[in-house]
Amino acid sequence: MTTTFDKFNLDSDILKAVVEAGFREPSPVQDEAIPLVLEGHDIVAQAQTGTGKTAAFGLPAMSMIDSNQKRVQILVITPTRELATQVSDELYTLGRFKNIKTVTIYGGSSYNRQIGLIEKGASVVVATPGRMLDLLKNGRLKNFAPQTVVLDEADEMLDMGFLEDIESILKFLPDERQTLLFSATMPEPIKRLAKRRLNDPKFVSITPKEHTTNEDIEQLYYVIEERERDSALIRLLDSVEPVKSVVFCRTKKEVDRVSTQLMAIGYSASGLHGDMEQNQRESVIKAFRNSQIEILVATDVAARGLNVTNISHVFNFHIPFDPESYVHRIGRTGRAGKKGTAITLVTPMEYHSMQRIAKKVGTNIKFKMVPSLSDVKESQLQKMANEIENAPLQENAQKVLDILGDDINLSKISLKLISMLINKNSLQGPNKIGFDQKTLANLVKRLDDRSGRDRNRGRRGRSRGNDRNRNSSRSRRPRNRSRG
């Protein structure tokens, strides 16, 4: 296989891993960042999750590792344990022909085991901020002086309150180091961190707008009544039949409720949130990655850094609070050049919020109607007919037919078998869910008119209050003057 990564003059063993991994040509962030890292520059790179950031810093940094030195030469700090594990796995894959050992450091696991693995000659440490700072403060890591430090998903670490920990960690590290900062967005605190802690950094920006979304993701929204959320989610799952999907909920309680409901009606689903034990979370993500679970129901925080391939659909059970969250959520799908679909459930009261998010991220989020129960049933019958037509014949099928004998004709047998299949895949719920575009437009107009009237009443009320205050002031003035 040919690859254009050879233009970077990477270490031959690293390049071999690139070829083995099937990388044909660098992504935009890799194309810009790799030469700068190899030249020794500090960099600030703005690029969305799923654009190849790990290889953008991993390939050049590992190319510069001195294999004769049995010490930590690269430190990568990530916001979550899940992301730390995923980054560590990818770096191990890219560095295996150079015999680069990677160790993952995070809370909830044995200190001694993690320290022991580092002391056995790890070249790369991927860590979460809390555990890393804990080890450094307590002097548990001897001669810890990585030459390259990577701050991955810096804006996520800011959102999770880790910025102070990052500042503290950097104070423990050598001043003479290369620092690489990667972030999907560039809020002011991240810019200030880069200015304080990086040395004359070079800038790489693959996302010119503040919040942008992947063009490989089809973005849809469905307008429903609040009480219809559960029914709408189930109807859409029945309709689109996702290969692997993530359902985002706002609260842990909602995650538990929705995942339990999906399992109760036969879906292979599981919840993921911060109140779960670490081993539970790891088990759920592993099962989801291996397709033992088809639907992951998660909170925003629990799914930060989630890097699972082949997610075909993302569902926003509630509209995200802001454009950043929206971009983060839907970025779980449409990765590595594959197409994806993002679906958001919205009430009429939330309609304008959806429009604002679309405007902020600079994308077209299309209105769709929730399919009726009749439409979904018709679609599934057509699919069933196609499956029956293309199904391979089993050698025991004739035996079953012989057992049935001549008492039942072939037509009746066929109808009974099809009925069994229909009963097995029976669908439930109301026939109609949500609003069509015309009804929605009328409803939104009425809501806007009502809001306008409420605002006007509020202004008149304040005006009358001001008039009363002015009258009161006038009535008091003679008394004030008489005192003089």
DSSP states along 155-195: HHHHHTT-HHHHHHHHHHS-SS-EEEEEESS--HHHHHHHH
Structure confidence at residue 80 (pLDDT): 83
pLDDT at position 457 is 57
Which pLDDT score is estimated for 473? 42
pLDDT tens per residue, range 61-80? 999 999 889 899 999 999 88
DSSP single-letter state for residue 96: G
Name, in order, each residue with C-beta under 8 angstroms of 354's C-beta and a sequence gap of 6 or more. 221, 319, 344, 346, 365
> Where in the chain are all domains bearing CATH 3.40.50.300?
5-205, 217-372
The topology under which CATH files domain 5-205 is Rossmann fold (3.40.50)
**Cα distances (angstroms) measured from residue 88 to each of 50, 230, 444:** 16, 37, 49
How far apart, in whole angstroms, are the C-alpha atoms of residue 380 and residue 373? Answer: 11
Supply the pLDDT for residue 56. 95
The domain made up of 217-372 has a fold known as Rossmann fold (3.40.50)
The neighbour count for residue 393, using CB atoms within 10 Å, is 7
Q: Residue 272: beta bridge partners?
A: 298
Q: Between vectors from CA 199 to CA 195 and to CA 205, what angle results, nearest 5°?
A: 65
Q: Return the pLDDT at 150.
A: 97
Listed as own residue / partner, the contacts of 7-11 with beta carbons closer than 8 Å and 24 or more positions apart are: 8/34, 8/35, 8/38, 8/59, 8/60, 9/38, 10/34, 10/38, 10/59, 10/60, 10/63, 11/62, 11/63, 11/64, 11/98
Q: What angle do CA 72, 75, 333 make, to 5 degrees?
A: 135
- pLDDT tens-digit profile of 78-88? 988 878 888 89
Please name the residues in contact with 379: beta carbons below 8 A apart, sequence gap of 6 or more.
239, 371
How many residues in the chain?
484
How many Å apart are CA 24 and CA 52, to the nearest integer? 13
Identity of the amino acid at 122 = A
CA–CA distance, 47 with 335 (Å, rounded to integer): 13
| Number of Cβ atoms within 10 Å of the Cβ of 256 | 16
The parts of the chain modelled with pLDDT lower than 70 are 1-3, 48-50, 207-213, 301-305, 384, 406, 421-428, 451-484
What's the whole-model pTM score? 0.54
DSSP state of 144: -
Asked whether 177 and 147 are in contact (CB, 8 A), the reply is yes
Distance CA 374, CA 371 (A): 8
User: H or E segment at 148?
Assistant: strand 148-151
pLDDT at 225: 92
